[in-house]
Chains A and B, each alone.
Chain A
Amino acid sequence: MTEKRLPLIETKDLKKNFNDLEVLKGISETIYKGEVICIIGPSGGGKSTFLRCLNMLEEPTSGEVYFEGEKLDPKSTDIDRHRQKIGMVFQQFNVFPHLSVLDNITLAPTLEKKIPLKDAQEQAYKLLEQVGLSDKANEYPRKLSGGQKQRLAIVRAMAMEPDVMLFDEPTSALDPEMVKGVLEVIRQLADTGMTCVIVTHEMGFAREVADRVIFIDEGVVAEEGTPEELFNNPKNERTKEFLSQVL
């Protein structure tokens, strides 16, 4: 990279306990603008918790998160303004079942950014077209397959025009034949220069799409590097063991 790297999200000694369980034991990371980061690691290692701390869905026990230079405070009303710039996609899709596909997308922009409904709908149609859901605009989510729901969830987040997208195991709840379509949408997004942080078990995808891979195990970053470094030449014993089990 020749251009100057701008930090978008910074975490400082991020720790998170659930009762007596120490899930994150101090993670300091910097995520730069335009970067595509894949976070891998064993279940229960803290990957998702780390991701959920980045937009304060999970309140850290100690440590800080800075987004575009500002410290995130879950108790401040500013948090809503920051979250509008941090899109998130969940494993279980979490589309709104009582709203049509179109309303799922336009609700937050019209409510929180005061975008006129007409403009929001126009934008929603464009987004739906990009992910091949144009003909579903007036359907309700119950009529959609898992893959379609996840694509809807992605464009719903995109409609807020975020500066970064967080993906929490976006394909883990999908039937195998649906995975490819969703990964393709994420890949296209990454290709447009969107900053992406993706927690995933899809190693092939991570190797292909990531600028940097972070291996989180037992609440710490055990190893990180380019996909080549991490997948072809892991240095940490735990990374080697993990990769030998999943590859």
Chain B
Amino acid sequence: MGPSIIDVFIEYWPIFLKGTIGTLRFAFIAVSLGSILGTLVAFMHLSKNKIIKGIATVYANVLRGTPLLVQMYIAYFFLPIAIPVLNNVDKEVYVLIALIMNSSAYVSEIIRGGINSVDSGQSEAARSLGMSARHTMTKIILPQAIKNILPALANEYIAMIKETSMAGTFMLYELMYTRTILANKYLSWQPLFIIAGIYLLLTLVLTSLVKHLEKRFSVSD
């Protein structure tokens, strides 16, 4: 059996802490940059121009319809070949690009859904007052859509915390990578339970935070 889970945790907690910080960092970068890219994709999707709309649809469908791990491998091995400038950057960047693009596809759907959830009467009322399309979006639609978008984005962050576990495959220091480190010390099963426990704790705490957030938003209805 070897040492107990508690013994392993007491001895190696700095490794798990470093892994946890790595996980939160990857998820944060992926979702925040993914949100910016995803917003762009969402507006492309809402465009009346069929070509722009088509590009956005294909982009979101490909990224949501293929496994993240495959996307990471493609980014890891193909990007340096396709874009030689990237040869000199840290390997972490390739994996992050895959995470950001993947997240942006999901975020674009969240934002599109949030915008579509606003009653069409709101935009009709604004346009009938002679408000421009831009002002209608920024002053009427988005302030109402944000109530639905923010909690969904927080949920995307929670999902991304779990997704980033695949970055460990590429030797990037996050929670799952701690398993590789400790396996070298002949600890095969104890780290797995600690890792699972930390993931669970993170998602439970963040989920309850989101619930709280949703409640506060619904008060203004």
**A98-B144, A107-B139, A142-B221 known; A80-B131 Cβ under 8 A:** yes
Taken together as a complex, chains A and B put the C-alpha atoms of A15 and B221 apart, in Å, by 40
Residue of A with least CB distance to B135:
A111
Question: Per a CB cutoff under 8 Å, which of B125, B131, B139, B140 touches A90?
Answer: B125
Do residues B132 and A86 form an inter-chain contact, with CB atoms below 8 A? no
Question: Per a CB cutoff under 8 Å, which of B125, B132, B143 touches A80?
Answer: B132
Query: Is A16 close to B, CB under 8 A?
Result: no
Query: Is A44 close to B, CB under 8 A?
Result: no
Query: Is A32 close to B, CB under 8 A?
Result: no
Question: Per a CB cutoff under 8 Å, which of B121, B128, B139 touches A83?
Answer: B128
Residues of A in contact with B, size category? 20 to 34
**A57-B124, A90-B125, A98-B144 known; A83-B130 Cβ under 8 A:** yes
Question: Per a CB cutoff under 8 Å, which of B139, B143, B220, B221 touches A111?
Answer: B139
A54 to chain B, nearest CB (A): 10
- Count A/B pairs, Cβ under 8 Å: 65
Do residues A108 and B130 form an inter-chain contact, with CB atoms below 8 A? yes
B80 to chain A, nearest CB (A): 46
Do residues B131 and A96 form an inter-chain contact, with CB atoms below 8 A? no
Interface size on B, residues (CB 8 A): 19
Residue of B with least CB distance to A84:
B130
B12 to chain A, nearest CB (A): 50
Taken together as a complex, chains A and B put the C-alpha atoms of A156 and B131 apart, in Å, by 13
Chain B residue contacts of A98, Cβ below 8 A: 143-144, 220
Query: Is A100 close to B, CB under 8 A?
Result: no
Interface residues of A (CB under 8 A from B): 55, 57, 77, 80-88, 90, 92, 94-98, 107-108, 111-112, 142, 153, 156-157, 160
Interface residues of B (CB under 8 A from A): 119, 121-122, 124-132, 135, 139-140, 143-144, 220-221
